[in-house]
Amino acid sequence: MTSTKRKHTIIAQSDLDHENPIINGKKNLDRPKKLKGKSKSKIVDVPTLSHGPGDVSNTFQRYRVKTKSKTDAKLNIFQLPDEIILIILPYLNKASLVAFIQTCRKYRAIGYHPNLWRRIDLSYKRIGSEQLNSLLQRGTVTLKLNQSTIEESNFTYMEPSALCHLDLTAAIISTDLLLNLLRSCTSLRKLSLESIPLNYKIVKKIVANIQLDTLNLAMCTGITFECCRLITNKLSSLRSLNIAWTELSSQSIQYICETIPRNQGNVHSNICLKAPEVLFDSRTTYFHGINDDQDRPLSARVSSANVSRQMSNITLNDSKLSSTVNSPLHIRFRSIDLSAFIPSNDGRMRTYSSVTSSKNIDYCNLLSDELILTILKYLPRASLASMAQVCRRLRSLTYDPSLWFRVDMSRKHIESCYLRDVFLRGTIILKMYQTTVHGNSIYSPNRNTWFTKLQFLDLTLATITPDCLLSLISACRSLRKLSLETLALNVAIFETLALNPQLDTLNLTMCTGIDLDCCSILTSQIKHLRYLNLGWTQLSDPCVHYICRTIQSSIEQITLTGFRQGMTDECVENLTNRAIRLRVLDLSDSSLITDKSVTSVVRNCVSLEHVAFSRCYAIAPISYASLKQIRHLASLDIFGVVDERGLQKLNTLLGPSISLNQQRFSYVARPTYGLRRTSIWGLRTRP
C-alpha cells in the first residue's frame, strides 16, 4: 500500500497562471528558476498535502505576502475618514485636542467640530474674556466655571452662543463682564450664580432666558424686591430655585412663597440663624438631568437609565438644594473595539470591527448600593478618589458620608481650597497632626460662610495661617472637641469658637496671641467647656487672674502650667471656689504658690481625682500629706520636688490608694496620649 507523500512546491505569484502543471494539464515538477534582481513578490515554501488527482484546491495553496515599504509599515492616519477621526477625538482631553488642532488645516477643521466642545470644565482655572468668547463660539452647551477667575480684557463684546447649562459657583467675575456674558446667552436652561454679587440689570438679563428651569442664587447679594418680582413673573418655566442665605427681606420671601408655590426652592436659611441638620441629609447636584446622551460618541452612549423625580411644594422647612431623586441613576456604557484602525502585531491591517453588545449582563450594576458601600469601606482614600472618576453612580456612592466619617490627614501638605471638598463630604472626625495647609482661606473671598458636620478636629502642631484657621473654624458649628496646640490665635478666632455651643474640650497648649479679650470670650461665651488646657500659653498676669476669677463652673479638668510668676495663692483660691466639679487639676511650674494653695484644694475640690504640683518649690513637701483627706484622689504628681527617700516617706503618709508620679506630662484635653497614636480622644481616625 502506497502512502501519501508530502510535497514542497515553490511557486512564484507571476508564474502561477502559466506554469501550474495541473491547470495546464501537464505534470511538471521542475522547480522554476530564481528571478534575478529585486522582486516585489516574496516566495514562500508552502507544504501541501495531495488527496487526489482531481483535488486542485487542496493540492496547492497559494500564499503571497507583499513586502511593506517604510511608509506603509505604520498606520497612515490621513487615510482615515473624518467620521472615524471624530469618534477618536472625544477620548482626548482638551489640552491634547488643542495640540491636535495645530497640526494641519484638515485637523483644525475637524478639531473645531461642535460635538467636541459641547461640555467644558474650567473649574479652578484663570481665563480671559477673549478666550471665553472664543470657546463659546465652538458650540459649547455645558460650561462649568466653579471657583474660576475670569479676567476682563480689552475685548468687551461677546457674540451670541448656544450655551444651555452654565455653572458660575463662587467664580470671580466683574459685574460688567457677567452682564456681557449673560447678554450673549439666550437659551439658558440651568444657571448657577452662587456667591456672586447681583443687581437689577443682571437679573433682567437672566429672565431673558424664557426656557430657564433651574436657578441657583444661594449666598448672592444685591437681590432686591424688584428682582424677586422679575424672577417670579418672567420665568414661567422655572422649576427649581435656590435662594438660601441671600439676606432677602421678609417681604421678598413672602412674595416668593406666594407666587411660586409649585416650584421647588430653598428659603430656609433666610429665616433661621443656624443651619439645620436636614441640610446635610441629601447632597445632590444642582444640574440633575442634563439630557446630552445624543451628543456622546457611539461607544459612550447610555444604553439604560432609570430616573424618577418628584417635585415638592415650597415650605419654610424645605431645605433641599435640588429635585428629590426617588431611585438611583443606573447608567451603563458600551465599550468600543478599536481593532478597525489599529494595526495588528504582524503588520497586517484588520478589516473587521466589532462593538460589544449592550445586552451583555453587567454584574456590577446588579449589586445594590448598600452592598457596594460595604465593599468601598475597605478601600483607602486614594482608591475612592479613583473610583469617583469612573461613572456617575460610583461617584455618588464614593461621596457617601459613611465613607468619609473619619479622615486622617496627618503629616500631609494640602491646599486650603481642597479642605472644603473634604468637609462637604460629611466628615465628622478629622485629624491634621503636623499637617501643612497652604493658602489663606478654604473658600473664595466673595463666598459667605457655609457649615459642615465636623465635630472632632485635631490641629496639633499644624502649619496654618491665622486667616486660614479663621475661615476653617467659621465653617464649623458643631465642634465638640478641638485641639489648636502651638497655633497663633487672635480675638476673631475666639469669637468664631464661641459659635459652637457643644464645644466641651479645648486644647490651647503653647498657643500664642491670647490676650485679655480672648480670655473674656473663653470664660463668658463658651459656657459648656469641661476640659481646658492652657499650659505654657505665656499669658500675662492679668489674664491668669481673670481666668481664675471668671472660669465656668462646668470645668472638670484644667491645666494651668508654666505660669511661674502669674499663678498665686489668690488665683488658686478663686479657681477652686468657682470650679467645684474639678476632677483633674494641674498647677505645675508655678513658683509662687505655697501651702495655702494645697489647703484651698483640699477644702473646695471634694471630687478631685488627680492633682499635679510638679516643680512648685514654694510648697512644703509635708503639706502634701493633707491631700489624703480628699476621698476620690487617686494620683499625685510632684516631679522635681523631693528625692527618692522623700517619695517613700510621703507614700507611707498618703497610703496605698494614692499613687505618686505616674503622669509626667499633662493629658488634659489632648487628642492623643499614650500608646493610641492613630486615634483622637479615643475615636479612630482610620477606616
pLDDT, tens digit, for every residue of 330-362?
333 333 344 433 444 444 444 333 334 445 677
Q: Are strands 610-612 and 635-637 parallel, antiparallel or unpaired?
A: parallel
Euclidean distance between CA atoms 329 and 561, whole angstroms: 58
Identify the CATH class of 439-454+463-684.
Answer: alpha beta
pLDDT in tens, 300-339: 333 322 222 223 333 333 333 333 333 333 333 333 344 4
Nearest to 255 by CA among 233, 238, 239, 273: 233
Asked if residues 163 and 185 have their Cβ atoms less than 8 Å apart, the reply is: yes
Other CB atoms within 10 Å distance of the CB of residue 561: 23
What's the pLDDT tens digit per position in 113-144?
888 888 888 888 888 888 888 888 888 999 99
SS (H, E, C) 283-343: CCCCCCCCCCHHHCCHHHCECCCCCCEECCCCCCCCCCCCCEECCCCCCCECCECHHHCCC
Asked whether 167 and 144 are in contact (CB, 8 A), the reply is yes
The predicted structure's pLDDT at residue 337: 40
User: 261-277: buried (b, 16+ CB within 10 Å) or exposed (e) per residue?
Assistant: eebbbbbbbbeeeebee
Instruction: Tell which CATH architecture fits domain 188-325.
Output: Alpha-Beta Horseshoe (3.80)
**How is residue 32 annotated by DSSP?**
P
Residue-level pLDDT at 646: 87
The predicted model gives 420-432 an average pLDDT of: 88
Round to whole Å and give the CA distance between 552 and 531. 11
More confident residue, 304 or 480: 480
Of 15 and 250, the structure prediction assigns the larger pLDDT to 250
Overall residue count recorded for the chain in this entry: 687
The pLDDT, as a whole number, for residue 363 is: 76
Name the amino acid, one letter, at 212: L
Question: 458 with 671: CB under 8 angstroms?
Answer: yes
Domain-wise residue ranges, the chain: 7-59, 79-116, 188-325, 439-454+463-684
Judge whether residue 211 has pLDDT over 80.
yes
Query: For the chain, how long is the longest CA-to-CA vector?
Result: 133
In the three-class reduction of DSSP (H, G, I as helix; E, B as strand; rest coil), residue 147 is classed as: coil
Instruction: Look up residue 240 and give its amino acid.
Output: S
Distance, CA of 34 to CA of 88 (rounded, Å): 47
Highest mean pLDDT among 54-68, 107-121, 459-473: 459-473
What per-residue confidence (pLDDT) applies to 116?
85
Q: What is the mean pLDDT of residues 232-249?
A: 84
Place of cell 478666632: 493
pLDDT 10s digits, 515-549: 999 999 999 999 899 999 999 998 999 999 999 99
Please give the DSSP secondary-structure letter assigned to residue 506. E
Look up the CATH number of domain 79-116.
Answer: 1.20.1280
151's enclosing H/E stretch is: strand 149-151
User: What is the CA 185 to chain-centroid distance, rounded?
Assistant: 31
Average pLDDT over residues 9-17: 42
pTM: 0.50
What separation in angstroms does the CA of 344 have from each of 72, 81, 338, 348, 621? 13, 20, 11, 6, 90
**One-letter-per-residue 3-state SS of 511-574:** CECCCHHHHHHHHHCCCCCCEEECCCCCCCHHHHHHHHHHCCCCCCEEECCCCCCCCCHHHHHH
Fold matches, 79-116 and 439-454+463-684: no
Our measurement of the distance from residue 515's CA atom to the centroid of its chain's CA atoms, rounded to an integer in Å, reads 36
pLDDT for 583 beyond 60:
yes
